[in-house]
Amino acid sequence: MKTLLINPAFSQYGGLQGHGGSVIPLNLCYLAAYVRQQNPDIKIKIIDSEILGLSHEETVSESKNFNPDIIGITANTCVFDSVINLISQLKLKLPNTKIVIGGPHPSALPKQSLIESGAHFTIAGEGEITFNELVTYIKNKNAHWNEIDGLTYYNHNKSIISNKPRELIEDLDILPFPARDLLDNDLYSPPPTKRVGLGPNTLLTTGRGCPFSCGFCGARTVWTQRTRIRKPEYIIKEIEECIDKYNIHNFNLTDEFFTINKQRTLKICNAIIEKKLNISWICSSRAQFLDEEVLKIMKRAGCHEISFGIESGNKEILKKINKSLDLNEAKRVIDLTKKVGITTHASYIIGYIGETENTIKDTIKFSKKLNTHIAAFFIASPLPGTPLYVEAKEKNYLRSDASWINYSPLSNVESVLKLPTISIQEIRKWHRKAIREYYLRPSYILLKILSIRHWYDIVNLFGGLKLFFRIKK
């Protein structure tokens, strides 16, 4: 039996090239590794159409050559139009192959995604166990789909059935390391705002879930708010495998909140130092609770950059977002991070519900006050499954003519939110204005020049400029 996993093309179908970098589809690598562990007789292949620059037609051709029994496709919201197109072509050329989609979008809208995509199944939530069970059932010609938790499908009467939710994996360390061997790791690189070294780069997961409930965040659609963490010794073993097997020394940690537990953070960092692992990495954290002890150990362990979600410089908007962040504390943490010598990255959202020109001005002003090495401005995107989506739908703030690609937080297409307080066109104007005002300041340009320490800093600078000019006014 053959199983094919596809990361669909997006850049050539409306996505902004370079926005998300060229990062490895780690979710597909986890699926492949788990299926391979549980069903070693099954042949597995991953086609990363995005990184290979394959059109849908080329992807279908590659798929047909492999002739799989089941195809799994990962789908977030802004790529879903592309997924729909791809599946329609796959079904024409591979009419006997079962197609299943998973990821954030089908997790939030399992039935709607099934109808719109034309797939045979959708998987909601954490996918490893559900996908493996589906593969096993198909291999054994067992069509009792009702026995598979987390699955949505058509029954024999053509009615849509959603089974009970799949329980979360309690111990993440039962999962084998991602099957990076199924991909060419040399092809992957992060966006210029999150590159911390030259050479191959990969994603690394040390935990899943976030205890906070920011209104825009889609992470809990799959992981929920429960935080589950991997044991430090398993994390170190995976890092060592990446170094020894793939010559990868640069890591982007996928955790929403890596520093959630101080003692665990110290234990991981001390293990990296004791093992003398020559690595560089970036992580995400909250701009609160961090102290100099942790930051210094992180830097010694190879942390070159920390990404902080600030979201807004206006307290009322922060309340609407449900972001429990003290802006003074954020300033303290970011100043301390700079002092230790770690690159600071802050992200902001423009156009959240309740936004006005004045609240956007507050955000731009505060971003300049923080003066992080990198500032990322995104247009608010009401991703399905989030409180922002629920509120926008209830208040009729969603454009009726919008496609799924309009849900992209950074693109050259119009956004989906139509607010009573500020127009879509004004949000776009202020978004572009925020980027220009931040990056074209003489003080920032000087900071950037003085911050150049490595070759990758120069590479990042030119990569950032290319992305800057791709964003239309």
Give kind and range of the element (H or E) at residue 152. Answer: strand 151-154
**71: helix, strand or coil:** strand
Q: What distances in angstroms separate CA 35 from CA 45, 121, 264, 405, 425, one per listed residue?
A: 11, 17, 30, 31, 47
d(CA 375, CA 350): 13
User: Quick one: pLDDT band at residue 18, thresholds 50, 70, 90?
Assistant: very low
Tally of CA atoms within 13 A in the half-sphere of 25 that contains its CB: 28
Whether 266 contacts 294, CB under 8 Å: yes
- Could you say which of 3.40.50.280, 3.20.20.10, 3.40.50.720, 3.40.1390.10 is the CATH number of the domain covering 2-162? 3.40.50.280
Average pLDDT, the chain: 92
Structure tokens at 277: 């692992």
Mean pLDDT of 27-37: 98
Structure tokens at 59: 């992807």
Per DSSP, the residues of 300-317 read HTTEEEEEEEEE-S-HHH
Q: What is the pLDDT of residue 372?
A: 94
Residue from 117, 128, 159, 170 nearest 38 by CA: 128
Q: Pairing state of beta strands 250-253 and 201-204?
A: parallel
Mean pLDDT of 200-210: 95
Q: What is the largest CA-CA distance in the chain?
A: 67
Q: What distances in angstroms separate CA 175 from CA 235, 238, 272, 387, 421, one per listed residue?
A: 12, 12, 22, 30, 47
Q: Taking the domain 189-470, which CATH number applies?
A: 3.80.30.20
d(CA 192, CA 292): 27
Task: Specify the higher pLDDT residue, 446 or 416.
Answer: 416
Residue 371 pLDDT greater than 70, yes or no: yes
Q: Where are the beta strands (DSSP E) in 155-288?
A: 160-162, 201-204, 207-208, 228-229, 250-253, 280-285
Residue 128 pLDDT greater than 90, yes or no: yes
User: Quick one: pLDDT band at residue 442, thresholds 50, 70, 90?
Assistant: confident
- 271-327 pLDDT, tens digit per residue, is 999 999 999 999 999 999 899 999 999 999 999 999 999 999 999 999 999 999 999
Whether 43 contacts 69, CB under 8 Å: no
d(CA 296, CA 76): 36
Q: What distances in angstroms separate CA 448 from CA 332, 344, 375, one per listed residue?
A: 21, 12, 12
Q: What is the pLDDT of residue 466?
A: 54
Instruction: Provide CB contacts within 8 A for 267, sequence distance 6+.
Output: 232
Whether 144 contacts 137, CB under 8 Å: yes
Residue spans of the domains in the chain: they are: 2-162, 189-470
Residue recorded with tokens 């002092």: 339
CA angle (347, 352, 353) in 5-degree steps: 160
d(CA 166, CA 105): 16
User: Quick one: pLDDT band at residue 453, thresholds 50, 70, 90?
Assistant: low
- 234-264 pLDDT, tens digit per residue, is 999 999 999 999 999 999 999 999 999 999 9
Structure tokens at 468: 């800057």
Mean pLDDT of 407-421: 84
pTM here?
0.93
Work out the number of other CB atoms within 10 angstroms of the CB of residue 319: 12
